[in-house]
Chains A and B, each alone.
Chain A
């Protein structure tokens, strides 16, 4: 499903060039649960952004379901992000001054689906993400705890039933109990057939995955699935 060939990403900051990714190549099949680990600055987030079609590599190729992503047009990329990939950011990235429900429904904007249906789907997906209490659905993000916000972000990523879920440090801001809840939610999704790639620097989180790829200094150091 995912194939990366010699992915390289170079950041230019004035005269200073930083090579965040150095010719990374690997494959991920449908239904896998992969954890990407590594120290900070190793290039994990950069790789994730490329996998999520949020950024482009400086060189190399990224194939998703046989299509080369860098050759896709802007609207096609939007469709990818909307329907096929669900991205969970480490910093949540919810819309400010907006209710939980509207945040979760954001990917359904302009889809032509009725408001009633959108509302129904949002509530269903919030429960799947572990947020059952409906009283929170009309609250704004600044009225929620870190764990609750993270679950809203996960629900948003799931609302269009993506085949792939990419989560960048989804428990980075959470306490132990909430971390466990979130990882169990991912586990359930993987059991149902979704492909999950999670970045983490915590061993307890990596233990949930069936395959671990270790990245250091922009290169793959170890891959338990190879």
Chain B
């Protein structure tokens, strides 16, 4: 009996391949686009979190410019209120810290061997490795001597190395040109697996003083990174730095501070809110696709049942019980929505993979998106494929057979 049901269902669906195909297509596209959209959003969130987490959780970042509660300050680095001496003072006068690394960082177009790229150039000191939890891969990092002597040396991040010299090459001894000055390469750092903006793998490190003399042309520092000894002293250390800098900059009212302090948690929440907005945008687009897809499915189902009212009447007329007629239409709706659903999920997963490998975007298919997309499509398909059929099966055979 179940076999009959299955056979009738398949026969019925394959008897009108065009209509079944179009219905499934609607479901597939709706589901695939929702899954892909949400995968992109989730991927973006993941890569941002990974970038930030690679920094280290004991890190406090001192930046010039006022802190504007919680938003990403556009003025980061553009104000000039921090000096190298501030960094030195922090080093000597603050307790419970393990590293202090001032930086003078900016984006430049750099060239080497006929290739060029736009990248972040960080002028800093040896302690940067400790402060930022970075390890050297081969060669050496910037040394104190090189900082004292404003040496024209550079250390590359692995992505920059790949872009300029070729993947996995050893560029030590060759040079890069930054703002009309040649810097000799002395080392390459290990990958931290970042992507997108502020990617630690796509960075060039030079001595702080070299950056100040040859690149930015001033004495200010754009950031001071401070690594606290451990998480338990974070609050105390932040307070000490705050008080110290207020005193040094001769500012009475903390609200008027010309610098701001951020730790990893602050950064995460700031950037997460940006990522959330992005995800909401993508989800809205996904939601609209789902809505349109749902309306399409509803339309196809209703049309199908209307056209088949006479068939329902005939089945009743030859004595097929109402329950079997209902079950058949229910089974058809389920087969359509489930097979469309499976294909859509597969296609969405494939699209996410494709984007990740061909466009180097980070994507992650989430269970939530699968359940949401499938749930909506299946519900719409089954409700609109089954209930109208049920109504038709309740007509008398003659009423149904006469249906136009």
- Spell out A's residues near B (CB within 8 Å): 49, 52, 54-56, 74-75, 78-83, 87, 89, 93, 95-98, 102, 106-107, 109-110, 112, 156, 160
CB distance from B300 to the nearest CB of A (A): 18
Known contacts being A54-B397, A55-B397, A95-B311, is A87 close to B4, with CB within 8 Å? no
18 residue pairs A–B, Cβ–Cβ below 8 Å? A54-B397, A55-B397, A55-B399, A74-B321, A75-B321, A81-B317, A81-B318, A83-B319, A87-B317, A93-B401, A95-B314, A96-B15, A107-B318, A109-B8, A109-B324, A110-B1, A110-B321, A160-B319
Q: Known contacts A93-B314, A97-B16, A112-B1; decide if A78 and B319 are in contact (CB<8 Å).
A: yes
Contact A109 B4 (CB under 8 A): yes
In terms of DSSP, what is the predominant structure of the interface of chain B?
helix
Q: Which residues of A contact B310 (CB under 8 A)?
A: 93
Q: Which of B5, B11, B16, B396 is within 8 Å of A55, CB to CB?
A: B396
Is B398's CB within 8 Å of the partner chain A? yes
A156 vs B318: C-alpha distance in the bound complex, in angstroms? 8
Residue B315 at the chain A interface, CB threshold 8 Å: yes
Contact across chains for A78 and B322 when beta carbons are under 8 A apart: yes
Contact partners of A89 in chain B: CB under 8 A: 317, 401
B8 CB to nearest chain A CB (Å)? 7
Decide if A106 touches B1 in the complex (CB within 8 Å): no
Q: Which residues of B contact A81 (CB under 8 A)?
A: 316-319, 397
Using Cβ atoms and an 8 Å threshold, which residues of chain A touch B5?
A: 110
Q: How far is the CB of B319 from chain A (nearest CB, A)?
A: 2
Q: How far is the CB of A119 from the nearest CB of chain B, in Å?
A: 13
On whether A79 and B1 interact (CB within 8 A), knowing A49-B398, A54-B397, A109-B8, the answer reads no
A24 CB, nearest partner CB in chain B, Å: 17
Q: What number of A-B contacts does a CB cutoff of 8 Å give?
A: 68
Contact B320 A109 (CB under 8 A): yes
Contacts of B399 in A (CB 8 A): 55
- A82-B398 contact given A98-B15, A109-B324, CB 8 Å threshold: no
CB contact list, B228-250 vs A, under 8 A = none
Chain B residues within 8 Å of A83, by CB: 319
Report Cα–Cα, A83/B321, bound state, in Å.
12
A106→B318 contact, CB < 8 A: yes
Partner of B319, one of A80, A93, A95: A80
Asked if B15 contacts A97 (CB within 8 A), the reply is yes
Interface size on B, residues (CB 8 A): 25
What chain B residues lie within 8 Å of A110 (beta carbons)? 1, 4-5, 320-321, 324
Q: Which residues of B contact A160 (CB under 8 A)?
A: 319
| Closest-CB distance, B285 to chain A (whole angstroms) | 39
Q: Which residues of B contact A98 (CB under 8 A)?
A: 11, 15
Known: A81-B318, A81-B319. 13 other contacts (CB 8 A): A54-B317, A55-B397, A56-B396, A74-B321, A78-B320, A80-B319, A81-B316, A81-B397, A93-B310, A93-B314, A93-B317, A112-B1, A160-B319
Provide the residues of chain B in CB contact with A93, threshold 8 Å: 310, 314, 317, 401
Q: Give every chain B residue within 8 A of A96 (Cβ-Cβ).
A: 15, 311
CB-CB < 8 A to A52: which residues of B?
A: 317
The 0/1 profile, CB within 8 Å of A marked 1, for residues 300-326 of chain B is: 000000000011001111111111100
Expressed in whole angstroms, the minimum distance between the Cβ of A160 and any Cβ of chain B is: 8
Closest residue of chain A to B320 (Cβ to Cβ) is A109
Interface residues of B in 281-340 (CB under 8 A from A): 310-311, 314-324
B392 to chain A, nearest CB (A): 14
**Chain A hits for B11, CB < 8 A:** 98, 102
Cross-chain contact A74 with B322 (CB below 8 angstroms): yes
Q: For residue A67, give the distance in angstroms from its CB to the closest CB of chain B.
A: 16
Nearest-neighbor residue (CB-CB) of A97 within chain B:
B15
- Contacting residues, chain A, for B320 (C-beta < 8 A): 78, 82, 106-107, 109-110
> Which of B1, B314, B318, B396 has most A Cβ within 10 Å?
B318
Contacts of B398 in A (CB 8 A): 49, 54-55
Compute how far the CA of A208 lies from the CA of B3 in the bound complex, rounded to whole angstroms. Answer: 43
Closest 10 CB pairs of A and B: A82-B319, A81-B319, A54-B397, A97-B15, A55-B398, A107-B318, A78-B321, A54-B398, A78-B319, A49-B398
Shortest Cβ distance from A107 into B: residue: B318
Q: Is the CB of A106 within 8 A of B321?
A: no
CB distance from B309 to the nearest CB of A (A): 13
Rounded to whole angstroms, the CA-CA distance of A112 and B321 in the bound complex is 14
Chain A residues lying within 8 Å of B322, measured Cβ to Cβ, are 74-75, 78
Q: Which residue of A lies closest to B322 (CB)?
A: A74
B318 touches A54 (CB 8 A): no
Enumerate chain A residues within 8 angstroms of B396, measured Cβ to Cβ: 54-56
Given A55-B397, A109-B8, A110-B324, residue A82 in contact with residue B318 (CB < 8 A): yes
- Contact indicator per residue, chain B 84-124, by CB within 8 Å of chain A (1) or not (0): 00000000000000000000000000000000000000000
